[in-house]
Amino acid sequence: MNPVIELLLQRRSVRAYEDRTLAQEAKDQILEATLRAPTAGNLMLYSIVEISDQRSKDDLARLCDNQPFIARAPWVVLFAADYQRWHDLFAWSGVEETCRQAGEAMRNPEVGDLLLACADALIAAQTAVIAAESLGIGSCYIGDIMENCERTRDLLGLTPYVFPICLLCFGYPDARQAGKERSSRFERKFICFENKYRRLTPAELAEMTEERQRESFKGHRSIDGAANLGQLVYKRKFAAGFSLELNRSVQAMIRRWTAGGELP
């Protein structure tokens, strides 16, 4: 099998790491590959922040839904959608005066720009993940970085046009990871379509969730009163407290982004 394809097929999230640091050479190789990731218009609408301070890692472990392994990860890296750099460059370049002379208002970053920058940042993050995997270094995405935006922006110095889209933990997998089974994925027929999107029928939804449901319930008839996978995911994830906080926090960050930082 093609070694790159094999690497992608075998990758899994790693949350337990050996107690050893990552050599600077390995970090440099990962970052060098990351900076070659595809990017919209070659603008590189993202920034990467390495979190080396242990107290900051401890704080992030608490802010990101109380996940202690974040504090223990040898290398913790924030990937942020970033239009602050270009907005500052526009100002420095005299764009506002040029617009004034043309009778136009200088445009500030909007929601569409945010989504494009998020795409840039996530593409870069996944490039870092695969680069690390090729060096035998495991990783785990932390989407909870989008929660608790007021405290996170103070901790990390985030300005209005910088949106923390994901945190990544890196480290060499410890012995507990050896032989650990990969989580299942839905079959291709439920995910991939041709030419047009298609909603799944009730029969297809039942078929799609059959295997995942067996995994989730592990022989139990119900978990927390859930009768099926849909109810389980709704209760444990979609309507859970962390999900409600994530949506509150993201809405606040979007309001701040579109207001150009005028909101507290």
Do the Cβ atoms of 5 and 163 come closer than 8 Å? no
- Give a yes or no: residue 221 inside a domain: no
Pairing of strands 46-51, 75-82: antiparallel
- Give a yes or no: residue 251 inside a domain: no
Residue 96's domain comprises: 3-183
pLDDT of amino acid 16: 94
- Give a yes or no: residue 175 inside a domain: yes
Which CATH number covers residue 123?
3.40.109.10
pLDDT of amino acid 216: 63
pLDDT of amino acid 218: 59
- Give a yes or no: residue 249 inside a domain: no
- Give a yes or no: residue 110 inside a domain: yes
Handedness of CA 229, 197, 44, 131 (dihedral sign): positive
- Give a yes or no: residue 65 inside a domain: yes
d(CA 192, CA 127): 22
- Give a yes or no: residue 220 inside a domain: no
pLDDT along the chain (264 residues), means of 10: 92 94 97 98 98 98 97 98 97 96 95 98 98 97 97 96 98 83 88 97 90 65 61 91 96 93 60
Find, among 72, 35, 253, 24, the residue nearest to 156 by Cα: 253
Do the Cβ atoms of 28 and 62 come closer than 8 Å? no
| Number of structural domains the chain divides into | 1
pLDDT of amino acid 225: 47
- Give a yes or no: residue 254 inside a domain: no
